[in-house]
Chains A and B, each alone.
Chain A
Amino acid sequence: MSSVEIDYADVQGTILRGYRVDLARHFILSITDAAGAGAFIGGLVEGTGGLPRITTARRWTVKPECFVNVAFTAAGLAALGVTSQQLATFDPAFQLGATSATTAQTVGDVGESAPANWMGGLADGAKVHLVLSLWVAHDPAVLDKVSATLRTAFAGCMTELSANDANALPGNEIQFGYRDGISQPTVIGAPPRKYGGVPDDQPPVATGEFLLGYVNESGGIYSVTPPELSLNSSYAAFRISEQDVAAFDAFLTEYAAKAGIDVETMAAKVCGRWRNGNPLELQPDAPGTPLPMSQINNFTYVSTTLADDDTLGIKCPIGSHLRRNNPRNEAVIGGGSTTSTRHRIVRRNIPYGPPYDPAASPQPSVPRGLIGYFINASLTNQFEFLLSQWNNTYSFVSSATDPNGSADGNAVFNISGQDVFLGVNDPSDSSFTLAAIGAMGANNKTLTGFSRIVITRGGAYVFFPSITGLRFLATLPAG
């Protein structure tokens, strides 16, 4: 794809590869014995002492029994002996951590979602040192077997604060019933994807947006010291997001009626895709049959041809989840129509909890949602920017008209509120706009007064060291 060459054997696999598995377990660990923790990490890197080897981004010929990756918080790196002077070179958001008041305010972890309420030991960020993740294709027995091996190995040097399980739902759906895992950035130099065709209509994204040590979309290079921790490392936001499906269903029913549309169209409008994955941009009127992978992500929002243009969000609302999180060629403040490539993220999430049964009565109070990583080379300019600017404001859209001019409207007037899924959405100011042709949004329908439906139950800002970095950390405590 390009001249960038990445040593896949030096990169933790989950950064560049989707494992396509059904089961995951994320251990939240706190270091009690640094030297022992170092030895454990060393064992994982080399696959010694009966431990599974850390999965790298190298191609495999036979799919492994399990996949293992490990990431560290700033407190975790400090516990292993990374100095404060060295930590000062890391992403400022990472230094602050997910539980800091500044971070929580920035990403909207407020109210019920505030870090103080988080589960699994994640509320006390100072004690959260590692997230050790294990993925298994299908077999729960393998998950338990490998978990037992890991637990035996880390028992003497780390406290297990929690183990958080994920289990894929049929059809690769999330709890809200949408098909997931369709759109990921095409990373320059990353391993090719399994399916052919056009995976993404957008320009491939610079390697440096996902790995330290390579040129990023801004023309710079994210790096840290010491150098052993820099090249081929990355950051991620680990998140446990509880999805209130009953509340979402109630929202759809109530607001579809208010908007005068059917429930499934309402579900598509707030997401940007029908629940079967087809994008509104290509299937504006009905879900249709699922498009092939070569087509399902092949669209843009802005065109010089009126028939193909959706600058105004008539087909796919500008405030839909899809469009907010990746405006593609839509003009946004900060740099116009090419800005979105500077704020892409790799998503590695799997649902947790049982599937929602709308017929169950009484409805059991069972937590369900999505758990996993949002991976990027800059938590500040990618994950946090997405949450704070594109999901929790509406003023990021640039003034733009369709090819007919301002008589049809302007994009600025066709978005309101916050993202229905990831916004804070206090009912006092929550808002979603269904746009219609008309100057200055004159014919728009604006829906207001709804509540938050995704609650943050846990999180950690973590650093995925390269394999070189893991070897460095393994020996660091021993001096």
Chain B
Amino acid sequence: MASPLTLIMPLIPGTTLDEIIRVVAKYTPDISKAVKNIGTVHYARVMVFDRSTPNLQPGLTPGSLSLAIITEYDGDFNAYIQDFVVALGEAFFDALLPLVVGGKALLPTIDHIPEFEKYVMINDASAHPPNSLQENNGLYEAYPYTVQTILASCG
């Protein structure tokens, strides 16, 4: 059974869309490679929202941006959080977190694993009511298989 992660990170006021897009674009290849190597993530996407617009869509003028990492993963996220940080810490989180409210206290992430774990828990919308009150935190699954079982079955 997979679990959802809906990590929504408010960005420091004044952070521009350009800044955040640049960081995400720069590290997208690293993110893909790392996530594949970790082997527990079914799907993942990085999205930007603007809390100051009615439909949360960011516009050209600076607003109140949030960066969201939304994934479905196998197993215990906390057990593998150090592996995520090893794979993505220097390449992604350490570049991203200076733009995130409260993020600087988590740097370098490799030396702040417990703090990073707490940060993720606090900012994971799937882990809080009302979302967490839904069955499997609101995640629908078409199949009960792990990533590795699917890969193995595909030959």
Contact = CB atoms under 8 A, between A and B. Distances in A.
Of B74, B82, B111, B151, the most chain A CB neighbours within 10 A belong to B82
B111 A220 contact: yes
A459 to B, nearest CB: 19
A397 B146 CA distance: 11
Question: How many of chain B's residues touch chain A, expressed as a range?
Answer: 20 to 34
Interface stretch (B4-12, B32-40, B96-104): B32-40
B57 interface: no
Given A395-B75, A395-B146, A334 B114 contact: no
A333 B40 contact: yes
A398 B39 contact: yes
Given A393-B75, A395-B146, A381 B152 contact: no
B110 interface: yes
Interface in B6-57: 37-40
Question: How many of chain A's residues touch chain B, expressed as a range?
Answer: 20 to 34
A399 interface: yes
B86 A398 contact: no
A388 B76 contact: yes
Contacts of B111: 220-221, 223
Contacts of A396: 75
A391 B62 CA distance: 50
Contacts of A385: 79
A393 B111 CA distance: 28
A220 B108 contact: yes
B149 interface: yes
Interface string A208-241: 0000000000111101000000000000000000
Contacts of B151: 399, 412
B97 to A, nearest CB: 15
A220 B110 contact: yes
Interface string A310-342: 000000000000000000000001111001001
Contacts of B74: 333, 395
A406 interface: yes
Contacts of A413: 152
A113 interface: no
A186 B82 CA distance: 22
Nearest to A414: B152
B152 A220 contact: no
A92 interface: yes
Interface of A: 91-92, 218-221, 223, 333-336, 339, 342, 380-381, 385, 388-389, 393, 395-399, 405-406, 410-413, 440
Interface of B: 37-40, 74-76, 79-80, 82-83, 85-87, 89-90, 108, 110-111, 113-114, 117, 146, 148-149, 151-153, 155
Given A219-B110, A335-B86, 14 more contacts: A91-B114, A92-B117, A220-B113, A223-B111, A333-B38, A339-B83, A381-B82, A395-B75, A395-B146, A398-B39, A399-B152, A406-B155, A410-B152, A412-B149
